[in-house]
């Protein structure tokens, strides 16, 4: 009888722990999604600022790295 009680208590503890991890997992996923959205906004802002810069060097280098302009165009800017 004692083994059944211990087994039931162990099962209950495992169920509670798994439930808590399930709730935490959802919260962590929501937090990661918010961080991703914030990062995307920051990247868009940095891109817009670099686009507005007078010298355009960093923008040209970024375009060169992305392959949207050729090396001779980058050097000529």
Tens-of-pLDDT digits for all 77 residues of the chain? 566 666 778 888 888 888 888 888 888 899 999 999 898 888 877 777 766 665 555 556 666 666 665 555 545 44
Question: In whole angstroms, what is the distance from residue 65 CA to residue 40 CA?
Answer: 19
Residue that is written with structure tokens 């970024």 in the block = 62
Q: Give me the pLDDT at residue 33, please.
A: 93
Structure tokens belonging to residue 25: 């997992």
Read off the tokens for 53.
């810069």
Query: 8 exposed, middle or buried (CB, 10 Å; 0-12, 13-18, 19+)?
Result: exposed
Check residue 32 and give its pLDDT. Answer: 92
> Which value, to the nearest 10 degrees, does the dihedral of the CA atoms of residues 62, 65, 70, 76 take?
50
């Amino acid at each position: 009888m004692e083994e059944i009680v211990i087994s039931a208590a162990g099962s209950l503890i495992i169920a509670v722990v798994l439930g808590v991890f399930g709730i935490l997992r959802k919260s962590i996923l929501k937090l990661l999604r918010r961080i991703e959205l914030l990062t995307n906004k920051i990247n868009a802002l940095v891109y817009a600022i670099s686009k507005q810069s007078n010298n355009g060097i960093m923008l040209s280098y970024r375009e060169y790295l992305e392959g949207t302009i050729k090396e001779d165009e980058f050097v000529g800017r």
